[in-house]
């Protein structure tokens, strides 16, 4: 569905619940709740699937739900901090981590497509001869910071390239052109004009509208678990 169809579907479902209570909802309000629903869908449906040890590509349903948000092998600029530490900034549209790989150089030897291991800040991995990053064992540790990733070496080799697989933020949907010829300002002050459709796969759009209905009617808390189970019904099928 495009944004106009999603708004129509939302109004139709609200009208079936109460034809008078929700008739005065304005387009900016509908846009806002649809975006809230998209955020809920991605965070509560995609994120748990992805954080599993086997990764989010555990079955075809998972891939299909978020396939349009998956970014593969984004080449990020590597910045050297010191002899043992490197840094990359996360993309502006970054939302969730999937995997990362690096290219390494030690003297005349080159290693490519080396998978990274995410470590927590409390780990003493670089103090251990068994857990620290190693060129020979093709084992590279990384940690996350607010806006970037630190990459660790043992000081005997360089990190030359960093490639990130991630889930990007969904696009903000709106139908500003049907509200005003000049559009309207979003809550963050951005002027919205024209329209913007949902960039999640179309088969997820009705699920998103259903979540929006629950948000508007105030039934989200009591019905959310039922809705979540409905959305996740084929999670491991």
For tokens 């593969």, the residue is 72
> Model-level pTM?
0.81
Do the domain assignments include residue 200?
Answer: yes
Give the 3-state secondary structure of residue 112. Answer: strand
Do the domain assignments include residue 55?
Answer: yes
- Looking at 152, 168, 184, the residue that finishes a domain is 168
134-183 confidence digits (pLDDT tens): 999 999 999 998 899 999 999 999 999 999 999 999 999 999 999 999 99
Q: How many CB atoms lie within 10 A of CB 98?
A: 15
Burial class (CB in 10 A: 0-12, 13-18, 19+), 177: middle
13 lies in the same domain as 34 = yes
Token pair of 110 as six digits: 């080159």
> Which of 44, 142, 136 lies closest to 101, judged by CA?
142
67-100 confidence digits (pLDDT tens): 899 999 999 999 999 999 999 999 999 998 989 9
Angle formed at CA 131 by CA 91 and CA 134, multiple of 5 degrees: 70
- Looking at 147, 168, 189, the residue that finishes a domain is 168
Do the domain assignments include residue 236?
Answer: no
Structural domain range at position 80: 71-168
40-59 confidence digits (pLDDT tens): 888 876 565 444 433 444 45
Q: State how many domains the chain has.
A: 2
Phi-psi region of 107 (alpha: psi -120 to 50; beta: other; left: phi over 0): left
Residue 124, C-beta contacts closer than 8 angstroms, at least 6 positions apart: 131
């Amino acid at each position: 569905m495009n944004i106009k169809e999603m708004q129509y579907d939302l109004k139709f479902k609200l009208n079936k619940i109460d034809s008078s209570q929700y008739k005065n909802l304005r387009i900016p309000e509908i846009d806002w709740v649809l975006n809230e629903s998209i955020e809920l869908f991605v965070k509560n449906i995609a994120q748990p699937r992805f954080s599993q040890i086997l990764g989010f590509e555990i079955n075809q349903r998972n891939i299909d739900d978020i396939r349009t948000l998956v970014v593969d092998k984004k080449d990020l600029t590597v910045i050297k901090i010191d002899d043992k530490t490197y840094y990359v900034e996360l993309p502006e549209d970054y939302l969730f981590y999937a995997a990362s790989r690096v290219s390494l150089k030690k003297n005349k030897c080159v290693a490519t497509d080396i998978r990274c291991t995410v470590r927590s800040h409390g780990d003493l991995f670089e103090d251990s001869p068994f857990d620290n990053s190693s060129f020979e064992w093709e084992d590279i540790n990384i940690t996350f910071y607010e806006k970037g990733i630190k990459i660790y070496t043992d000081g005997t080799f360089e990190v030359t390239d960093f490639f990130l697989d991630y889930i990007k933020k969904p696009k903000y949907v709106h139908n500003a052109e049907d509200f005003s010829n000049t559009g309207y300002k979003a809550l963050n002050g951005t002027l919205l004009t024209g329209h913007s459709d949902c960039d999640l796969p179309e088969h997820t759009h009705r699920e998103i509208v259903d979540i929006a209905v629950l948000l508007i009617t105030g039934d989200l808390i009591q019905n959310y678990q039922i809705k979540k189970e409905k959305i996740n019904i084929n999670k491991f099928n």
